[in-house]
Amino acid sequence: MLENIEHLDASVFQRLLRKTVLTAIVAGVIAVGFALWLAPPLVSVGIVLGLGVAVLNLRFLDAGVAKIESSGEGSSKVIKRILRTKTTGRLAVITAVAIILLVFVQSLGLGMVIGLVVFQVLFVANAAKVIFAQGSTL
């Protein structure tokens, strides 16, 4: 089924990204509310930080894909390598920041990890929904 994801229309990806960001905002508000109620205030700040970084990473990925599509650059191997390299670099920085925060400011780091996890779960759930909905037409 996952091999069919590359056949999805670009507008489907735009809707997926938009829906993921909107659901992340709603889930973030709920998570911050629970964190303020149950945990130290820095956990709430970390959740917002984690969700913000995840959304920013998604926007950079979307902008990179749009830039490559509009320029009509080379082969798909080159495009995939460029996107993979940039994405890996961003994810490495995000991971390093989360680990550093976990070591030095545990509440903030824990909140950031929670925010990142919430975003990824929502992204995977939204993507699975789109793939299953489009699966019958692929």
In sequence order, the 6+-apart residues with CB closer than 8 A to the CB of 43 are 35, 107, 108, 110, 111, 114
Using the Cα atoms of residue 47, residue 50, residue 53 and residue 57 in order, give the sign of their dihedral.
Answer: negative
pLDDT tens digits along 83-124: 788 889 999 999 999 999 999 999 999 999 999 999 999 999
**What span, in angstroms and rounded, lies between the C-alpha atoms of 21 and 16?**
9
Most confident of 3-12, 74-83, 114-123, 125-134: 114-123
